[in-house]
Structure 1
Amino acid sequence: MNATLKIYPSKLERDNCETCTATPGQTFEHWLKNNVPSYAPREVPLFSAAVNDAELPPGEWASYIIQPGDQFELVVEAKGPAVIVMAVVAVAAAAAAMYFANQIPDNYNQTTPDGSTIYNPNAQGNQARLMGVVPEIAGRHKVFPDLLNQPRREYIGNDQYLYLMMAVGVGEYAVDPEEIFIGNTPVSRYFGDIDYKLFGPGESVTSHEAHRNVYTSPEVGSSGGQTGLELEGSLSSSGSGFSRTRWSMAGHTLSCYEYDAESGSYLSWPFPYGANEIITISGSASNNGDYRVISKGSVNSATMEKVDGNGDPDAAWTGFTSSQHESITIASSSPSDTSYSGPFFACPANELTDTIWLDFFLPQGLGRLKDNGDFETRSVTIEVDYRAEGSGSWTTITHTFNGASNDQIGFTKKINLSSRMRPEVRAKRTTPGTDDTRVYDKVQWTALKAELDSASRYEGVTTIGVKIRGTNALAGSAENKFNLIATRKLPVYENGSWSAPQPTEDIAPFFAYVIKSVGHIDHQIGLEEMEELHTLWSARGDSFSAVFDNKTTLFEALKKVLAVGYAEPTLDYGQIIPVRDGPRSAFEHMYQPDNMVGELERDIKLFDPDEPDGIEVEYFDPQTWKPATVLCTLPGDLGQAPKKVRAFGITDTTKAWRFGMRQRRIQRYRRTRYSFKTEMDGLNSRYLSYCALADDIPGYSQTGRVLAVSGRLITLDAQLEWGTGTHFLALRKPDGTLSGLYTATPTNSANLIEVDSNLDFTPTLDGSMEPPLYMFGQAERWSHPALITDIKPSGTERVSMTAVNYDERVYADDDGSPG
């Protein structure tokens, strides 16, 4: 009786286990080594073991002899997802391994977005492609360039400018200035509001300000419905002589009131100073002096203590000389740091900078409204302090704003630091605030930026630097709606040589580029076949225009490139060769019972009422640069349940319709699949070779070997059966290619026929090699025309082959137009 082992993925997963058996008489460790290939003894095993409900310590695994009927429980212990996935028990317990592998969080994909893609209208926009693929543009296509740096805004002359540094794509491009847009509007329509410059691969980008890699601190910016952090200065009385302000002093309490002329009464007014702040009172001889705010008792009052010139308490002071509604002047002499906004770090951890920018915004303008409605000049001074991270001392810089208008003011303060550092920055307003509704002087700190190490060039990538002046004509969406239409520049292979790079939408140049981009050279490309197809594609107007903006493989990319030209990539003796599926007139090889191993098998797909009744092709419309569709149907199709296909690389309605009609006709007319085996003969053919197939079914082709040739008279090894109409004869040459077709006529001998022309080769019939094979029959039934779709060698003796029936109706719409 065997022992039973139940393997659990965890102690909490008791309903999920895999069961194994073990032969008694062997040690438990011996069973592990024989059944778990990667098992090795560990000081702390990755799983625990129990036998017959009793723990089996790891130290006893090598000595415990498995008994008949033993019940083992092996449980994977929690030691981290990476360890669990590699656990040796998982080799024996596939269920456990699969379960835990699926629980590993895919943090990489979650933290590395794909960025914008032109093919998703909801995602179109300028975005960063962190750890993503730099787009490859083929032909002529619209693209939303990817951000290389954070978008940066700066005030110059009270105008706000937006700087964008973006990657157009890998390689070199031609761009028409009239095909550079913000949204759908050409930038040329903005009359000087936009400055841009294209940079070729590897070209220095330092001539454009947008190249700077500027980090914008997230702590400084919009807050509480405002554009930035408001810098609030200490509140002062308004007007000359503070005629509207009265104070009440009693004991150690100072209270603040404002006289309301309309009601003739005194109203409470918020006390403007905070705890520990030292203020100076003047205008009352008995109470003049310096005082410290002990605490704020209520909104309009505070408890005070008198201090001397050193800020120490005045022990002789017993309290204010009582006074009600006395006119005084009061000012803060040493405000506390609570009036600062910040400090904030200007750049991330482990980064250093020597240049910072601070943006300030005055949303109401700056000035004081006079009684006659005019504005008089007002000034506001701010203070900016910075220091290196961990430093104790601050460097202070001040700036004063002056204005006499309610027009908004924006200003960028650039500061060159004394050395490279990770700076802490704080700011405050030193000009006291006011409650006067006629005074417009609010100051907001809207941005803190730091220049990090900036790239001076981008090898292999075309980039563009953009500077946009913010106006009413440019909405905020300009930051992510910059787009352009670019045409790829590539060398073209013609007349046996490569040209200089030129703008092109042709298929062949990009096909060759994709192969070379992974390190292959000309010798690994079927240049002869490519050039032949290039001539055909160019004559037909077939082109490829697309954007590769996601990861793919070499062959998947080549399949997409060639598909628009009805071709596919194939590997042939170390070369990547494009093979086009097009109309054929000359057979390449023949395969019949004499050079097949076994029988020719046919699989005919019957018509299914549930199969698609049309093709709906999605392509990219070059007018809207959005996906569009065209329906492709054959006579009798209702188009109610079409198959949906994507014509990647096609940007023309007619071309998309032709692409779809080719697919629809393949569905309709290619319904027979052939499979057969040969010896080594099958290696003569290539993918999509046009071949003649035959079997021994009566009424179709008659096959055999040639016995003799005399001029146009050919003796065959069997008596032929003749029907009505024209009959053809095809012969197999020594190299495996097909000779013919020859029109055959009977003679007075049943195995002797006459052909209409001399043979195009000299048969060898002396026994030194296999004699020519033949296929014979009526014009419509002498062979099964087929296209080879798969060739699989098996050792050095067998080749398995598959093919589909050839039907010229497949190509009927290749030059047509939608009705």
Structure 2
Amino acid sequence: MNAILKIYPSKLERDNFETCTAEPGQTFEHWLNNNVPSYEPRAVPLFSASVNNEPLPPSEWAGYRIQSGDQLELVVEAKGYAAIVMIVVAVAAAAAAMYFANQIPDNYNQTTPDGSTIYNPNAQGNQARLMGVVPEIAGRHKVYPDLLCQPRRQYDNNEQYLYLMLCVGVGDYEISADNIYIGNTPVSGYAGDIEYTVFGPGEDVTGHDAHRNFYLSPEVGSSAGQTGLEIEGSLATTGDASSAARWTFSGTTLKSYWFERDIEREDNLGFVPRSFPYSEEEIISISESSNDGEYRVVSKSGHSAQMEKVDAGGDAVPGWGGFVDAQLVSIAMISNNGGSGGYLGPFFACPENETTRYIELDFFLPQGLGRIKDNGDFEYYSVTVDIDYRDESSPTWTTITHTFSNATNDQLGHTEKINIGSAIRPEVRVRRVTEASDDTRIYDTVQWTALRAELDSASSYEGVTTIAVKIRGTNALAGSAENKFNLIPTRKLPVYENGSWSAPDATEDIAPFFAYIIKSVGHSDDQIGLEELEALHELWSARGDTFSAVFDNKSTLFEALKKVLAVGYAEPTLDYGQIIPVRDGPRTAFEHMYQPDNRVGELEQDISLFDPDEPDGVEVEYFDPQTWKPATVLCTLAEDQGLAPKKVRAFGITDETKAWRFGMRQRRIQRYRRTRYSFKTEMDGLNSRYLSYCALADDIPGYSQTGRVLAVNGRLITLDAELEWGSGTHFLALRKPDGKLSGLYTATATDSANVIAIDTDLDFAPVLDGSMEPPLFMFGEADRWCYPALITDIKPSGTERVSMTAVNYDERVYLDDENSPSGNL
């Protein structure tokens, strides 16, 4: 079991860390030297370390050996900016490389793991995110699909294949072969080496072998720099006249001898005692006519050992009286259980409380297999291994024998597939039957590289798109293929147009995903402002505004809707039980008026003065669709130097021009919306909505003149106040019975101080009989007749008062909505 290391950037950021693993047995300093490029021993290290919550002083780093299951923590210590940056980058890079290249993350200890790594350019890769949020992809965006089961490597005809079962995301997607990659290379560049099948939501996935869910036993695998566990051969030779090993049997004693020769004197020394090759408690198998069976080494001394006979379960055989005496015999086979020539294992093939009907074992021959003849050619050679398995509660082993035969020095691999039949928790062990040879002309090394057990596998995945992949291992495909499979899908959604929903199709539009989010939580069409949404869809489509992003962390409905609408300069609002999108854009027609006659109290103004320390620009981070990594664009006005810009993230934007427009809108809002209005009304305020474009007035001389209409005679309007006229054009605005603003009308003076003439007929019929409140008016010079404002908050208080806030409207906010970083389009 590997040790787990967590690397923290500081003591204050305990929720932010990188995770990697380390093989047991190596010293901590050895791991640092091999995995952290910038590491070097220092009197005062740049980071501290602890093991299992106990401090590990730097003086012990060189001597402490990492143990199986250790929990190590590395915390960067604050010792200067440059030092912090160097060590964080070095350690984090090493951690990410080790972790994502070799492991599936262990998320059992996290309630909700972090989202996909597409927004973390330093750790992009496929992950298993147990208990995590299934990604929701909007528009067209690159993703590293999440692993649905553990990646599986398997040999077929001496070629290795990698199987991946991946979740693309919730919903249905358009996925083309040109948009599927390993790393940065399209899969089309690996013709014949990659097979994949895309499955829509709920489709049967059993047609592809990648769907099978296998558990990989951690006890079998790479060890001591080797790909797997080497299956070592027996130490003795088969019995014939030329055998170099000889044994004597007497009573319970077994002695070993070896034939030696004095090369210098060219003299045979004969069989001489040899140190007994097996350890105490090991079990050896003897095949000699009178002494067949298995025996345990009780004790040994020199070339002698005291033995006891054991049964198949390893228990001593009662009443065994000892060996049948034999002098210097050559036996057919002698091997131990767990040492040279004995069993590897047994190891459990699946976790506790799990059962399986099918197991697989991978074997690897790193030097090939064969014998070199005198002329240099290879000739066939064979190696036989026994594979034993049994139920954990059974004393009886079932043996399967496999023989490897070949004549090549090319690396070879084989997957042994075993259908057990009944569901058990199997123990598995392997031993080499063919004796090993020290002949340098024989290549016969065999390693056991993997033990897998198939667990319950899903036959379909409701509501999500999945992709099954089979990759043939070649020199062109590095090991990183296991966690670098990515693709660029486009979400399929219905679009509301012409009063109805279309069939789902690939789209990057804002409106379809906005509606989808609302309906995905159980709301119906009646709870969406479809009329407003359709109008905005037409506007956004004409402008080319799109939304492409990945939602893979928990969020609220309104937070998600805000992110979606932000790229279209809109926000979600609640209005009488409907969620309605409202866009902040250029306005030409006022909706309502609020002046002293329909206000309660004064109009309060809060003007924000220019601060020399405020940001002088906006730096926007967006996702570059070429590299699919974050990029930035600086947004400044003519008078800005851009030395201290405000940093914003354009979530959902994957285009530089769109990101620049987004940032310029933010910058212009900072610059030109600097007045906040607060006022109260009776129930009139409920006529307005969020971002309603309204005309405000107070009683400050020189600005708007307000009052009530007394009479209307065609285009002559009689007012309840004598008007003061300035220079230039003058406007008159009236309030209709439904609260909406009527006008603007160009006004001219008459002979009477309270009667004015307007340039067009009224667009409503005023009611002046006293049955309702008469129309209200606002009047003044063209640029001073009102305070144009956008309503930002409406708060009813009982049934008599409404508190309202607004910000000044300034058309300069929108001047870059059609421009580009290099000038007008």
TM range (shorter): 0.7 to 0.9
TM-score normalised by L of structure 1: 0.81
Q: Deviations over 1:359-411 (max 9, x none)?
A: 11111222223333233322221111222222222222111111222222111
Letter in 1 for 2:415: T
2:554 to 551, 556, 566: 551
Question: 2: CA distance between counterparts of 1:294 and 1:815?
Answer: 87
Gap change, CA 1:699 and 1:115, over 3 Å in 2: closer
Letter in 2 for 1:741: L
Is 1:141 the equivalent of 2:141?
yes
Is 1:376 the equivalent of 2:379?
yes
Q: Which secondary structure state, in structure 2, belongs to the residue aligned with residue 536 of structure 1?
A: helix
Q: Is the 8 A contact 2:203 2:460 kept in 1?
A: yes
Question: 2: CA distance between counterparts of 1:360 and 1:108?
Answer: 31
- Matched length: 702
Is 1:707 the equivalent of 2:693?
no
1:527 Cα deviation (Å)?
A: 0.7
2:807 to 780, 783, 804: 804
Is 1:463 the equivalent of 2:451?
no
Question: 2: CA distance between counterparts of 1:290 and 1:416?
Answer: 29
Is 1:538 the equivalent of 2:511?
no
Letter in 2 for 1:442: T
Q: Which secondary structure state, in structure 2, belongs to the residue aligned with residue 178 of structure 1?
A: helix
Question: 2: CA distance between counterparts of 1:616 and 1:315?
Answer: 87
Gap change, CA 1:353 and 1:777, over 3 Å in 2: same
Question: 2: CA distance between counterparts of 1:117 and 1:377?
Answer: 49
Q: Which secondary structure state, in structure 2, belongs to the residue aligned with residue 558 of structure 1?
A: helix
Gap change, CA 1:582 and 1:739, over 3 Å in 2: same
TM-score normalised by L of structure 2: 0.81
Is 1:512 the equivalent of 2:518?
no
Is 1:605 the equivalent of 2:620?
no
- Aligned position for 2:765: 762
Q: Deviations over 1:482-512 (max 9, x none)?
A: 0011011111111111111111111111111
Question: 2: CA distance between counterparts of 1:315 and 1:666?
Answer: 98
- Aligned position for 1:43: none
Is 1:166 the equivalent of 2:166?
yes
Question: 2: CA distance between counterparts of 1:392 and 1:195?
Answer: 43
2:410 to 391, 407, 411: 407
2:637 to 634, 638, 641: 634
Q: Is the 8 A contact 1:342 1:426 kept in 2?
A: yes
Question: 2: CA distance between counterparts of 1:290 and 1:769?
Answer: 113
Q: Which secondary structure state, in structure 2, belongs to the residue aligned with residue 505 of structure 1?
A: coil
Question: 1: CA distance between counterparts of 2:820 and 2:310?
Answer: 98
- Aligned position for 2:75: none
Question: 1: CA distance between counterparts of 2:511 and 2:256?
Answer: 87
- Aligned position for 1:182: 182
1:291 Cα deviation (Å)?
A: 11
- Aligned position for 2:122: 122
Greater mean alpha carbon deviation, residues 367-376 or residues 762-771? 367-376
Letter in 2 for 1:463: T
Q: Deviations over 1:105-164 (max 9, x none)?
A: xx9873642253211112211101211111111111111111001101110001010000
Greater mean alpha carbon deviation, residues 478-487 or residues 426-435? 426-435
- Trace 1:541-620 onto structure 2 (pairs within 5 A): 541-620=544-623
Q: Is the 8 A contact 2:337 2:344 kept in 1?
A: no
Letter in 1 for 2:624: D
Question: 1: CA distance between counterparts of 2:616 and 2:309?
Answer: 96
- Aligned position for 2:215: 215
Q: Is the 8 A contact 2:797 2:803 kept in 1?
A: yes
Greater mean alpha carbon deviation, residues 235-244 or residues 392-401? 235-244
**Percent same amino acid at aligned positions?**
74
- Aligned position for 1:303: 305
Q: Which secondary structure state, in structure 2, belongs to the residue aligned with residue 143 of structure 1?
A: coil
1:237 Cα deviation (Å)?
A: 3.5
Q: Which secondary structure state, in structure 1, belongs to the residue aligned with residue 819 of structure 2?
A: coil
- Aligned position for 1:329: 330
CA-based RMSD: 2.8
Gap change, CA 1:465 and 1:574, over 3 Å in 2: same
Gap change, CA 1:214 and 1:714, over 3 Å in 2: same
Question: 2: CA distance between counterparts of 1:695 and 1:120?
Answer: 52
Letter in 2 for 1:604: I
Q: Is the 8 A contact 1:308 1:314 kept in 2?
A: no
- Trace 1:417-456 onto structure 2 (pairs within 5 A): 417-456=420-459
Q: Is the 8 A contact 1:600 1:676 kept in 2?
A: yes
Gap change, CA 1:370 and 1:749, over 3 Å in 2: same
Q: Deviations over 1:720-750 (max 9, x none)?
A: 1111111111110000000111111111221
1:250 Cα deviation (Å)?
A: 12
Question: 2: CA distance between counterparts of 1:645 and 1:268?
Answer: 81
Q: Is the 8 A contact 2:216 2:450 kept in 1?
A: yes
Gap change, CA 1:109 and 1:530, over 3 Å in 2: farther
- Trace 1:739-758 onto structure 2 (pairs within 5 A): 739-758=742-761
1:762 Cα deviation (Å)?
A: 1.2
Q: Which secondary structure state, in structure 2, belongs to the residue aligned with residue 433 of structure 1?
A: coil
Q: Is the 8 A contact 1:115 1:128 kept in 2?
A: no
Question: 1: CA distance between counterparts of 2:238 and 2:112?
Answer: 55
Letter in 1 for 2:599: M
Greater mean alpha carbon deviation, residues 666-675 or residues 234-243? 234-243
1:789 to 784, 787, 792: 792
Question: 2: CA distance between counterparts of 1:658 and 1:591?
Answer: 33
Gap change, CA 1:468 and 1:751, over 3 Å in 2: same
Question: 1: CA distance between counterparts of 2:595 and 2:815?
Answer: 29
Q: Is the 8 A contact 1:297 1:303 kept in 2?
A: yes
1:669 Cα deviation (Å)?
A: 0.3
Q: Which secondary structure state, in structure 1, belongs to the residue aligned with residue 447 of structure 2?
A: strand
- Trace 1:58-457 onto structure 2 (pairs within 5 A): 110=110, 112-237=112-237, 241-242=241-242, 254-259=255-260, 262-264=263-265, 271-275=276-280, 277=284, 279=286, 297=300, 301-303=303-305, 329-332=330-333, 336=337, 339-457=342-460
Unaligned stretches of 5+ in structure 2? 1-106, 312-316
Letter in 1 for 2:122: N
1:657 to 650, 656, 660: 660
Q: Is the 8 A contact 2:154 2:162 kept in 1?
A: yes
Question: 2: CA distance between counterparts of 1:545 and 1:288?
Answer: 76
- Aligned position for 1:482: 485
Q: Deviations over 1:440-491 (max 9, x none)?
A: 2222111111111111111110100000000000000000000011011111
Letter in 2 for 1:606: L
Greater mean alpha carbon deviation, residues 334-343 or residues 704-713? 334-343
Letter in 1 for 2:454: E
- Aligned position for 2:526: 523
Gap change, CA 1:761 and 1:108, over 3 Å in 2: farther
Gap change, CA 1:538 and 1:651, over 3 Å in 2: same
Q: Deviations over 1:403-450 (max 9, x none)?
A: 222222111111111301222222211222233333222221111111
Structure of higher CA gyration radius: 1
- Aligned position for 2:12: none
Q: Which secondary structure state, in structure 1, belongs to the residue aligned with residue 117 of structure 2?
A: coil
Q: Is the 8 A contact 1:720 1:750 kept in 2?
A: yes
1:320 Cα deviation (Å)?
A: 8.2
Q: Which secondary structure state, in structure 1, belongs to the residue aligned with residue 602 of structure 2?
A: coil
Question: 2: CA distance between counterparts of 1:788 and 1:778?
Answer: 23
Question: 2: CA distance between counterparts of 1:350 and 1:250?
Answer: 47
Question: 1: CA distance between counterparts of 2:294 and 2:137?
Answer: 72
Gap change, CA 1:595 and 1:645, over 3 Å in 2: same
Q: Is the 8 A contact 1:307 1:314 kept in 2?
A: no
Question: 2: CA distance between counterparts of 1:306 and 1:697?
Answer: 113
Q: Is the 8 A contact 2:299 2:307 kept in 1?
A: no
Is 1:771 the equivalent of 2:774?
yes
